Structure 1
C-alpha cells in the first residue's frame, strides 16, 4: 500500500460517506412531501440499508474480479446516477422511483465501507490499525459534509429537497475524480483461484475470524439499534426536537473523532483489547440510559455509544483483516460486511417496534446479554490462542 493510497482513501471516504446522512436526514421528509402512506415513511431509509446489505457480496466479487480501483469507480458512477434518479423522482412526485434511487445509493455505500480494508492492504502489524483508523477520520468529515449539503441545497430548487440529491450526485463525481487517481489495482480473480479454492465454510471454522466478525456485527448492530430509537425516545420523554438532533450530532462526532488516536491505541495495547473496551463502553452507555431520562442521560449515553462503536468497529475491522490471507480477503471481508449491514438493516427496523411496544428501558436492556456473549467469545478465543502458543 503506497503512501499515496493512504492519503487518497480518507478523501474518498469523506465524500462517499457523506451520502448516508443525506438519505437519513431527508428520507422521511421526502416521503411526506410525496404523500407516501404513513406506514411507508421510513421505507427509503430502510431500502438504503437493505441496498448496503445486499451489495456487500457483489462488491467483494467486483473487487476480486476487476480490482479495487475499477470496482470503486463503477460504484461512484452508480451513485451519480442514483442521485439524479432520486432528485428527478422528487420533481416528478414519484415515491417508487425515489425508493429506487436510495436503494442504488446503498450499492455505492457498500463499496465505500470496504475502503477501510483497501487502505490496510500491504500493511502489517500496527500499521494496519493506524491506516484503518486514518480512513475512518474521513467519516468525521463526512458527518459534517452530508448535513451541510442538506442545509445548503434543500431549498435550492422549486421542488424542495431535490437539490440535495443532485448534491449527492456531485459528491459522487468528486469521489470519482479522487478514485481515478488511485494506482491501478490488479484483478485477482484468476490468481486467487489458482492459489486457493477459498470457501466461506473454511473461514467459519476459524475461531479468530468468527470472533472478529461477531465483534464487528455487535458493535455496529447495537449502535444502529439504539441510535435509531434515541431521537424518538427523547421527544416522547419531553425533550425538544432540536435537542434530539443535537444529541445525534454529538453521537456522530463521538463515532469518528476518536479515529485520530484509535490506531495508536491498537498499536500500543492490541486490537483485541481495544475492541473489548469498545464493547464495554457500549454496555456502559446502556447503563447511563437506564439511570434516568434527563437530557444529560440521553446525550451521555449517545456519546459513549459513539466512542464504543469507534473502538469496537475499528478494532474488529483490523482483526478481520489479519485473520484472513491475501487470497481469502475478498470472501472474508465481503461476508463480514454482508452480515454487519444485514443486522443493521434489521436492527434499525426492530428498534422502532421494540421502543413502541416495550419502551426505552427495555431497548437498552437488550445490550447487556449480547455484549456479554461476545466478550466471553473473545476471552475464550484469547485463552485458546495462548494455549496454542505455549
Structure 2
C-alpha cells in the first residue's frame, strides 16, 4: 500500500507535466491555427475548441473520478492528451484545420482533469496542516512546467522544418505519455467515492442531496475571483506590451516571471497559513492583486513595471486560489466530495472563460489601465466575501 507521501510525489510530478502541456499549448495553439485556418478570422478557433472541451468535461471529470478514483481519471486525462497531441501533429502534416480543431478540443478535455490535482492533494491527507502542506507541494510543482513548456515548444517546433509546429504537438503527446506512466504509481483508491456511503439529506427539502452551504459558495467565489483576475491580466499583458513597443523577448520574460510567481509562493503557503490563517493568506493575495492593478494606472508602463505587475498578479493567484481551495475543502462532508469539487471547478472555469474573452475586448477598446481597473471590483467583491465568511 502506498503512503500519502508517495501519492503526493506522484501528484506533484503530474502537476508539473500538466503545466508543461498547458504552457506548451498556449505557446503554439494560436500560431498553428493561423497557419492552417482558411481565413484569419478563424485562427483562434483551436483556442476556442480547447476552452469548450474543458468546459464540457470539467464537471463530469469530478463524477468520473468519484467513481473510478484519481488514478483512473488522470490516466484518462493523459490518454486524451496523447490523442489530442497526435491529432494536432497529424493535422499539420495533412494541412487539415478540422483535425487541428478536433485535437484542440481533446486537449481541452485534458485540461479539465488538470483542475483536480489540488483536490487530489487534499484527498491524500487527513488533517488541515497536512492539507496545506500537500496543496503547497503539488501546486508549487507547476513552476517546472511553466518554465519547461515554452522552452519545449520553441525547441520542438522546428523538428520538421517543412511542417511548422508539428514537432510541438508531437512533443506534447510525448509529455502526455510520461504523464500516463507517472500516474500509474498513484494509489488505486485515492479519491474514490464510497458507493455504499449514503448522501446526507436536506430535511427542509424532504430528502435528496443536501444543499451545499453559503460557506461553500463563498469559498468557491474566492477561487473564481483569483482565477479571473489572473486570466484578465495575463492574457492582456503580451498585447499591451506589443502595443507599447516592447519586444517579444521582453514579453516572454515578463510571462516567465508571472508563471514563476504563480507557483513558487505555494512552497511558502504552510508557513504563511500558520501565521496568517487561511483567510489571512487569501487577504494577502487580494492585496497583492490590488497593488498590481494600481501600478498599472501609471501613465508610462516600463518593462520593469510590467514585471512587477505580472509578478504581483502571480502572487495574488497563488495565495487567493490555493487559500480558497483549502477553505472550500472545509465546507462539505465527505459524501458530497465529488459533487462539491465538480461544482467548484465548473464555476471557477466559467469565470476563467469569461475573463479570457473579456481581456481582449477591454484591452482593444480601453487599454491596459482599464483591464486592471476592471479587476478592482472583483478583488473588492472577494474582500467582502472573505470578511462576510469570517464574521
TM bucket (normalised to shorter chain) is over 0.9
Partner of 1:325: 333
Distance across 2 between alignment mates of 1:178 and 1:57:
24
Matches of 2:260 and 2:65, distance apart in 1: 30
After superposition, where does 1:136-155 map in structure 2 within 5 Å? 136-155=139-158
Question: Quick check: 119-128 or 35-44, which moved more?
Answer: 35-44
Could you tell me how far apart the structure 1 residues matched to 2:114 and 2:342 are? 12
**Residue 201 of structure 1: CA displacement?**
7.1
Match of 2:286 in 1: 279
Determine whether 1:337 maps to 2:332. Answer: no
| Aligned with 1:265 (options 268, 272, 277) | 272
What is the aligned counterpart of 1:223 among 224, 227, 230?
Answer: 230
Q: Distance in 2 between matches of 1:71 and 1:88?
A: 26
Q: Is 1:163 matched with 2:167? A: yes
Aligned-CA RMSD value: 1.7
Q: 1:46·1:345 contact (CA, 8 Å) conserved in 2?
A: no
**Match 1:202 to one of 177, 192, 211:** 211
Count of residue pairs the alignment pairs up: 380
Distance verdict in 2 for CA 1:36–1:308, change over 3 Å: farther
TM value normalised by structure 1: 0.93
What is the deviation of 1:101?
0.8
Contact persistence 1:76–1:108 (CA under 8 A): yes
Counterpart position of 2:304 = 296
Deviation at 1:2? 1.5
Distance in 2 (CA, whole Å) between partners of 1:279 and 1:100 is 38
Does residue 71 in structure 1 map to residue 76 in structure 2?
Answer: no
TM-score, scaled relative to structure 2? 0.93
**Is 1:243–2:243 an aligned residue pair?**
no
Q: Which residue pairs with 1:174 in the alignment? A: 178
Relative to structure 1, the CA distance from residue 27 to residue 36 in structure 2 (aligned partners, 3 Å threshold; closer, same or farther) is: farther
CA-to-aligned-CA distance 1:342-364 (integer Å, 9 cap, x gap): 22122111110111112222111
Change (3 A) 1:223 1:279: same
Q: What residue is the counterpart of 2:15 in the other structure?
A: 13
Structure 2 unaligned regions, length at least 5: 203-207
Q: How far 1:280 moved relative to its partner?
A: 1.4
Deviation at residue 36 of structure 1 after TM alignment: 4.0
What is the alpha-carbon distance in structure 1 between the residues aligned to residue 214 and residue 104 of structure 2? Answer: 36
The Cα shift of 1:241 comes to: 2.0
Partners of 2:210 and 2:52 in 1: CA distance: 24
Query: 2:205 matched to which residue of 1?
Result: none
Deviation at 1:197, TM superposition (A): 5.4
Match of 1:313 among 318, 321, 346: 321
Deviation readout 1:252-283 (Å, 9 max, x if unpaired): 11111112211221133211110111111111
Following superposition, the deviation at residue 45 of structure 1 comes to 2.0
Query: Residues 30, 315 of structure 1: CA spacing in aligned structure 2 closer, same or farther, 3 A cutoff?
Result: same
Distance in 1, matches of 2:288 and 2:38, equals 39
C-alpha separation in 2, matches of 1:334 and 1:101: 24
Compare 265-274 and 328-337 and name the one that shifted more.
265-274
Counterpart-to-counterpart distance in 2, 1:36 and 1:24:
21
